[in-house]
Amino acid sequence: MITESKALAEILARVSPLSPRRATLAECVGGFSTKAYTATVPLPAFDNSAMDGYAISSADLEKGKRLRVVAEQPAGLDKNLNVQPGETVRIFTGAPLPTGTAAVVMQEEVERNGEFVVLSAQPQNGEFIRRRGCDLTEGQEILARGQRITPVVAGLLASQGFAEVEVGGCVQAALISTGDEVIPPGASCGAGQIFESNSTLLAGMLKQLSANVISVAHSPDNPAKLRREIDSAAANDVLIITGGVSVGERDFVQEVLRAAGAEIDIWRVAIKPGKPFLFGRLKNCFVFGLPGNPVSAFVTFLMLFRPAILKLMGASGGAFGLAKIRCELSEDVLNDGDRVHYFRGRHEAGRFSLVGRQESHALFGLSRCNGLLRLEANGHLKAGSAVDIETWE
Ligand code: AMP
Ligand code: MG
């Protein structure tokens, strides 16, 4: 059995980023940029109006002024207009500003009579003007290498005219659940049987990471059947097998993987929940054996699998861990075991409390949680301590 940090270091040492690809803006969200992008277009791109209204000159910043409407400036076409004292240009949101504009008066603050307007409120110098480059200037970095592309960042790339970006490879993933006792949801469940839930949980988490879930299969605890599933799943970049990774006579995963030609680098990690964890490689496929117990599968996915998939996808080093939020612990927490323990709980308004049974089968309890408290072996934390809670939502 090795420590969690050694296991993670070894996994990350073996995994290297997949080849980059070009992705359209629609495809790139959730991916990691493989190069830095800088702005080529300032935002706003030109001085423009923030309102539908009237452009006025600095000589006319006065309530009650009566101005002649001399021209109209729509959005989408720069008519290269100019405003003179005593005159105004009818203007629309996003339209280029006529030279000499000191302010745009919104149309609700004028009375219009034919070709004249009267200002019904005191205009302020500069109001409703959006200056070129006030948000973003040319040459500013908009996306760092290894940064995740969110919908907002994809929108920003679009605002720069990029139709495609270079992102890390898309991970092709396969899932195999194991166990004679587990049957698919929708079938009828006999005495002693349980519904299979890990595939649903793990496929959902894979999709949240923008992996392509290529296949989801189930094998009973039967070496020949398991071998067939493993052989066909090994064509992917990663394979997750849940259950059957432990030490019982019905746990065949390790033995079948070895028979299929896999190298097993890690088996059993000092982490709770999650000790029966396996990592190896079969041809070009990284194989992760996660415990059958749902909470253990969840925790090992986050702590040992997620960093690997992020590295495969081209994430930068700093992005491998979960986000942390500083909280005050609402109760004493003791880890009297010899493995690092991830306690499940909820953070809310800066306080963290344990939730549900801290047992590896307790999926309902987990469903009410939004954070993990990591506590080293033999660690003890007092109520009121400041702790960094790892979050996944
Ligand atoms: P195992 O790791 O195969 O010994 O399984 C540990 C526990 O997890 C047992 O109680 C199994 O019934 C349960 N389990 C295994 N696989 C699944 C699964 N896919 N969905 C839900 N529970 C499972
Ligand atoms: Mg089993």
Query: Are the C-beta atoms of residues 241 and 252 closer than 8 Å to each other?
Result: no
CA-nearest of 338, 320, 308, 291 to 14 is 308
CA distance 215 to 174: 5
Any idea which ligand is nearest the CA of 176?
Answer: 1
| pLDDT given for residue 66 in this prediction | 98
In ligand 1, which atom is closest to the CA atom of 293? 8
| pLDDT given for residue 393 in this prediction | 82
| pLDDT given for residue 279 in this prediction | 98
Query: Are the C-beta atoms of residues 347 and 325 closer than 8 Å to each other?
Result: yes
Residues with CB under 6 A from ligand 1: 177, 179, 181-182, 194, 196-198, 242-246, 276, 291-294
Query: Are the C-beta atoms of residues 130 and 48 closer than 8 Å to each other?
Result: yes
- Residues 280-329 pLDDT 10s: 999 999 999 999 999 999 999 999 999 999 999 999 987 799 999 999 99
Ligand 1 centroid to residue 243 C-alpha, Å? 5
CA-nearest of 379, 378, 344 to 360 is 344
CA distance 196 to 292: 10
Ligand 2 centroid to residue 248 C-alpha, Å? 8
User: Which residue intervals of the chain are DSSP H helices?
Assistant: 4-14, 25-28, 151-159, 198-208, 223-233, 253-259, 294-300, 306-313, 363-367
Phi-psi region of 142 (alpha: psi -120 to 50; beta: other; left: phi over 0): alpha
- Residue closest via CA to ligand 1's atom 3 equals 243
| pLDDT given for residue 319 in this prediction | 75
Helices 4-14 and 306-313, interaxial angle, to 10°? 20
Structure tokens at 290: 């996660």
Ligand 1 centroid to residue 242 C-alpha, Å? 7
Ligand 1 centroid to residue 293 C-alpha, Å? 5
Ligand 1 centroid to residue 184 C-alpha, Å? 13
- The DSSP-derived string for 297-322 is HHHHIIIIIHHHHHHHHT--GGGSSP
- Buried (b) or exposed (e) across 285-305, using 16+ Cβ within 10 A? bbbbbbbbbbbbbbbbbbbbb
Structure tokens at 351: 């306080």
| pLDDT given for residue 318 in this prediction | 76
* Regions of the chain with pLDDT less than 70: none
Please state the pTM of the whole predicted model.
0.93
| pLDDT given for residue 361 in this prediction | 97
End-to-end Cα spacing for the chain: 30
CA distance 107 to 56: 12
In ligand 1, which atom is closest to the CA atom of 177? 19
CA distance 337 to 380: 11
- Residues 162-221 pLDDT 10s: 999 999 999 999 999 999 999 999 999 999 999 999 999 999 999 999 999 999 999 999
In ligand 1, which atom is closest to the CA atom of 218? 19
Query: Are the C-beta atoms of residues 178 and 253 closer than 8 Å to each other?
Result: yes
Residue of 176, 183, 194 with the most ligand 1 atoms within 8 Å of its CB, for mutation: 194
Amino acid at 133: G
Ligand 2 centroid to residue 196 C-alpha, Å? 11
CA distance 94 to 43: 12
CA distance 341 to 124: 60
